């Protein structure tokens, strides 16, 4: 259970400040994550759209290159009827144009692998000069006829013939991007007969021209100037128009793989097939969760091949800045909350320290230290409370002084009254006896000697009574000098029993003792007086006779002396006042006996109590004293 005020204060601050602060930090982090995800998705879709447009433009540029080459009059003249001299000249010029096109490069890579001129029968007439081609390849090229190819027929009909990404048998076989190509074919118009096409120029465009564009996807920071690592893992890919076959990827081993079957991502193929552009469902590829977007390129009806361009980024990069910001946010929150808690703890300690000190002083005040004060260091409510406590302590101290003085005065008055009362009792018979003695002498009574003897005896008894009264008051006042010594209890008990035996026999009381050989360190006279008082009370409690049992035994590190009688016992009300001065259940005596016993036993470092006897009849007086080794 929480008891300290400072702890409650800290918990209150936690509930009122820390919890809302942590919730706010979590909300900001969640909103940052949502916002970052939305921004990344937006940019991915923008990149996919731009990349699809760039692919369309690149393809159209290649179509334009081949169209311009096919529209060159020299190419048309080569296919016409020329004499041998002109034919050789034009052939050389066409080959030179073909070579220039093939030698064109972009970013250090060639764009075209091969350019070939076919006549209207689909047979090769001219091609670019390739130093790596042997005579067998040339022979195969000359013997081949493309008249039945779809792209050749399309070109002969005035359209553009396109063949999608493939590994051409005209080039060395392989699975690298530069071992793949696309074919672009355009018809050669017959200048002598307008409207007629009498040949075809086709070119093999190296696939690295498109793959490199995918590998160089610009990040938003390159356009906006905002530096970010969100797109560090970005990369692109491209599918055929069937939305299921990979034709471009940074991993060439995925070429010609099925998206649905080989990569296990049919949901991506379904998403791409069902919309012109959009976001892929979140997915996991090769153990990495990703975000991605797609966009369709132009279809055949628009002069394209219907490619589907995709752009993806790893989730770890997507949320990298969020994780970083979240870490910064939570670290800052932890530091701020730590400062708040430390400040709160300091304020709580500064505030509760006076209260704790006041509580300590109050406890000391309750224990009787009325001089306890609280230092006042402030003028606020706590300072006023401390000042009020000091005033109350001073008032209580003054009140106690007055009360002690009043109690002392009352005690002395009561003592004087009791002493006067106790002394007056023996003085009355002394006065009467003295008067009687004087009268007998004055009258010269013949019984004067007898009267004199009786009077002297009476006066001596009354004087002894007054001496006993004075001794009791002196013992109660503690004016007697103590002389502690080692006391053997068996000898002391036998001495007391011997003193009380005659009186006990007269009252038909039998004394039984069971005393162990133990010793205590105390004043012999005081302990003897206590035992005599207890034996006297026990004998007087049995007017009809009975038995007194006295025992001495060890109990732990102490000695227990018990005096048990079979008398009338004590009522609960009497037991509550037994050790109070002047309280007695008899009609005679000063009422100081048990009070003196209590005072003497406590002076010896022990305790005394009177309880009902275990047998249910009589009283058991028990004294406990420290044992003397």
Report percent pLDDT > 70 for the chain: 70
Q: Positive or negative, the Cα torsion across 448, 423, 583, 528?
A: negative
Whether pLDDT at 1 is above 50: no
Alpha helices in 108-149 (DSSP H): 135-143
Q: Identify which has the larger pLDDT, 41 or 257.
A: 257
The pLDDT assigned to 431 comes to 74
What does the alpha-carbon distance between residue 472 and residue 470 come to, in Å, rounded to a whole number?
5
The pLDDT assigned to 227 comes to 38
Whether pLDDT at 223 is above 50: no
What does the alpha-carbon distance between residue 62 and residue 204 come to, in Å, rounded to a whole number?
10
Q: For residue 181, which of 196, 191, 163, 166 has the smallest C-alpha distance?
A: 166
Q: Identify which has the larger pLDDT, 449 or 127.
A: 127
* 332-358: pLDDT as tens digits: 777 877 777 777 777 766 666 666 676
Whether pLDDT at 594 is above 70: yes
* Average pLDDT rounded to a whole number, residues 230-242: 78
Judge whether 443 and 451 are in contact, CB under 8 Å.
no
For the domain with range 71-213, which CATH number is right: 3.30.450.20, 3.40.50.300, 3.90.420.10, 3.10.580.10? 3.30.450.20
Average pLDDT value over all residues in the chain: 77
Apex 414 CA angle, 411 and 420, nearest 5: 135
What does the alpha-carbon distance between residue 155 and residue 132 come to, in Å, rounded to a whole number?
28
For domain 482-626, the CATH class is alpha beta
The pLDDT assigned to 289 comes to 81
Q: Identify which has the larger pLDDT, 598 or 376.
A: 598
* 508-542: pLDDT as tens digits: 888 888 888 888 888 887 888 888 888 888 888 78
So where are the chain's domains?
Answer: 71-213, 381-474, 482-626
pTM of the entire predicted model = 0.51
pLDDT band at 187 (very low <50, low <70, confident <90, very high): very high
Q: For residue 488, which of 515, 511, 470, 509 has the smallest C-alpha distance?
A: 515
* 156-185: pLDDT as tens digits: 999 999 999 888 877 766 566 677 889 999
* 239-292: pLDDT as tens digits: 999 999 998 888 888 888 998 888 888 898 899 888 998 888 888 888 888 778
The pLDDT assigned to 30 comes to 59
* Residue 121: Cβ-neighbour burial (10 angstroms; 0-12, 13-18, 19+): exposed
Judge whether 323 and 229 are in contact, CB under 8 Å.
no
pLDDT band at 627 (very low <50, low <70, confident <90, very high): confident
Whether pLDDT at 577 is above 60: no
Judge whether 172 and 179 are in contact, CB under 8 Å.
yes
Could you say which DSSP state residue 280 is in? P
């Amino acid at each position: 259970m929480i008891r300290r005020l400072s702890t409650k204060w800290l918990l209150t601050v936690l509930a009122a400040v820390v919890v809302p602060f942590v919730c706010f930090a979590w909300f900001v982090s969640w909103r940052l994550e949502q916002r970052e995800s939305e921004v990344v998705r937006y940019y991915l879709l923008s990149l996919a759209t731009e990349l699809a447009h760039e692919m369309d433009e690149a393809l159209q540029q290649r179509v334009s290159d081949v169209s311009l080459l096919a529209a060159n009059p020299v190419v048309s003249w080569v296919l016409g009827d020329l004499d041998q001299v002109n034919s050789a000249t034009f052939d050389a010029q066409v080959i030179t144009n073909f070579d220039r096109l093939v030698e064109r490069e972009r970013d250090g890579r060639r764009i075209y692998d091969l350019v070939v001129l076919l006549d209207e029968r689909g047979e090769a007439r001219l091609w670019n000069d390739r130093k790596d081609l042997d005579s067998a390849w040339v022979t195969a090229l000359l013997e081949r006829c493309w008249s039945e190819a779809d792209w050749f027929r399309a070109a002969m009909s005035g359209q553009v013939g396109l063949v999608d990404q493939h590994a051409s048998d005209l080039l060395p076989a392989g699975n690298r991007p530069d071992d793949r190509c696309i074919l672009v074919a355009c018809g050669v118009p017959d200048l002598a007969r307008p409207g007629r096409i009498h040949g075809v120029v086709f070119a093999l465009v190296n696939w690295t021209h498109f793959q490199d564009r995918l590998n160089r996807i610009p990040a938003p920071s390159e356009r906006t100037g905002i530096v970010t690592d969100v797109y560090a893992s970005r990369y692109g890919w491209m599918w055929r128009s069937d939305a299921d076959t990979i034709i471009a990827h940074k991993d060439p081993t995925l070429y010609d793989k099925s998206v649905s079957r080989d990569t296990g991502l049919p949901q991506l193929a379904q998403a791409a097939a069902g919309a012109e552009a959009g976001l892929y469902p979140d997915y996991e590829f090769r153990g990495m969760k990703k975000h991605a977007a797609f966009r369709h390129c132009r279809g055949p009806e628009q002069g394209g091949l219907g490619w589907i361009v995709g752009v993806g980024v790893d989730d770890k990069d997507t949320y990298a800045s969020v994780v970083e910001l979240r870490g910064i946010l939570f670290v800052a929150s932890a530091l701020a909350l730590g400062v708040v808690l430390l400040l709160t703890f300091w304020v709580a300690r500064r505030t509760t320290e006076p209260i704790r000190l006041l509580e300590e002083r109050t406890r000391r005040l309750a224990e009787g230290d009325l001089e306890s004060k609280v230092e006042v260091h402030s003028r606020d409510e706590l300072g006023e409370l401390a000042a009020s406590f000091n005033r109350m302590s001073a008032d209580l101290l003054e009140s106690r002084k007055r009360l002690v003085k009043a109690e002392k005065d009352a005690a002395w008055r009561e003592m004087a009254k009791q002493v006067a009362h106790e002394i007056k009792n023996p003085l009355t018979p002394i006065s009467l006896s003295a008067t009687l003695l004087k009268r007998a002498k004055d009258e010269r009574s013949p019984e004067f000697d007898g009267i004199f003897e009786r009077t002297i005896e009476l006066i001596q008894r009354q004087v002894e009574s007054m001496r006993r009264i004075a001794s009791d008051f002196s013992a109660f006042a503690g004016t007697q000098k103590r002389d502690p010594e080692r006391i053997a209890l068996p000898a002391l008990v036998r001495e007391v029993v011997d003193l009380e035996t005659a009186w006990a026999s007269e009252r038909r009381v039998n004394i039984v003792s069971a005393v162990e050989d133990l010793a205590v360190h105390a004043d012999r006279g005081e302990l003897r007086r206590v035992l005599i008082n207890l034996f006297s009370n026990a004998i007087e409690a049995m007017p009809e006779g009975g038995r007194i049992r006295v025992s001495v035994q060890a109990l732990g590190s102490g000695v227990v002396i018990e005096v048990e009688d079979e008398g009338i016992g004590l009522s609960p009300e009497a037991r509550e006042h037994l050790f109070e001065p002047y309280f007695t259940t008899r009609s005679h005596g000063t009422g100081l006996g048990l009070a003196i016993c209590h005072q003497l036993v406590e002076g010896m470092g022990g305790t005394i109590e009177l309880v009902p006897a275990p047998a249910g009849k009589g009283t058991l007086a028990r004294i406990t004293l420290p044992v003397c080794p």
